[in-house]
Amino acid sequence: MTSLRPYLLWFAIAVLVTFGAIHAMQWVREHPEHFPGARFEFEHPQGWATHRKLMNFVDEDAACFAAFDRARAGYERRPAVGSGQCRASQRMVLTGNSFVPTMRPANAAPGCAVTAAMALWTRDVVQPAARKYFGQNVVELENLGSYNCRKIAGKQSQSEHSTANAIDISAFVLADGTRITLVNDWKPGDKRSEFLHAVRDGSCDLFSTVLSPDHNAAHANHFHLDMAVRMGGWSICR
């Protein structure tokens, strides 16, 4: 008589695998921020897949703007400019300050992917750090621009600014008017410096490239933030 034990063992394994798959699917539904295949939503917390989803927006104009539409974010889409390596088709300006503090100057118009990353950066990095160190929010971000068709300084490769896939942030203005600048406040010594370093460190999981005054003299007065698409999704944070 054939023993039933092997069949019972395989049946038990099948049951366990089935229950495991069910629980895995439930976990994915409850944590879409960790699953690359789940649609990006601004309401989701940051997760393992957040940077990849933001990076995918670089080549997916419609999907990126649709995310802002679902979040009911007011924005003005700017006309595409340039051609070839210098074509920027995602330029946009947010019309309110609920996602990103007021930009100064207001016409920087970074690409949609960068703007999406800035929204999460504001929510999860900038404002928590501002409240921790100063007890108030940042209300303005001073910038040095986004679109600029050029090579990376000292290299032959094209800058992410060439497609408005980057933004340079030079200062943060608090609700009481306090102005915190990279050029004057980066060196260690007080809570302004601690705030700036905390913002830099917290930026690294969201953006593909984060360059600070620690990188070189060319970045002594600003943070360079971009969503460069790199094989493997690796990031640079200096």
pLDDT of 148-193, one tens digit each? 999 988 888 999 999 999 999 999 999 999 999 999 999 998 999 9
Across the chain, what does the average pLDDT equal?
92
Q: Which long-range contacts (CB under 8 A, 24 or more apart) does 87-95 make?
A: 87/163, 88/147, 88/162, 88/163, 88/164, 88/165, 89/61, 90/57, 90/58, 90/61, 90/64, 90/65, 90/163, 90/164, 90/165, 91/146, 91/147, 91/164, 92/65, 92/68
Render pLDDT for 83-134 as a digit per residue (tens, 0 to 9). 999 999 999 999 989 999 999 999 999 999 999 999 999 999 999 999 999 9
- Residue 1: pLDDT above 50? no
Within-domain flag for 65: yes
Within-domain flag for 23: no
pLDDT at residue 50, rounded to an integer? 97
For 173, the token pair is 């203005």
In this prediction, residue 145 has a pLDDT band, given cuts at 50, 70 and 90, of very high
Within-domain flag for 29: no
d(CA 148, CA 109): 11
Within-domain flag for 144: yes
pLDDT at residue 233, rounded to an integer? 85
Within-domain flag for 20: no
What b/e string do you get for 8-29 counting C-beta neighbours within 10 Å, with b at 16 or more? eeeeeeeeeeeeeeeeeeeeee
Within-domain flag for 187: yes
How many residues are present in the chain? 238
Domain range for 144 is 49-237
pLDDT at residue 185, rounded to an integer? 98
d(CA 24, CA 35): 11
Q: Provide the whole-model pTM.
A: 0.90
- Residue 45: pLDDT above 70? yes
HSE of 62, CA atoms in CB hemisphere, 13 A: 0
Within-domain flag for 183: yes
Residue 94 belongs to what H/E stretch? strand 92-94
Count: domains in the chain: 1
Within-domain flag for 214: yes
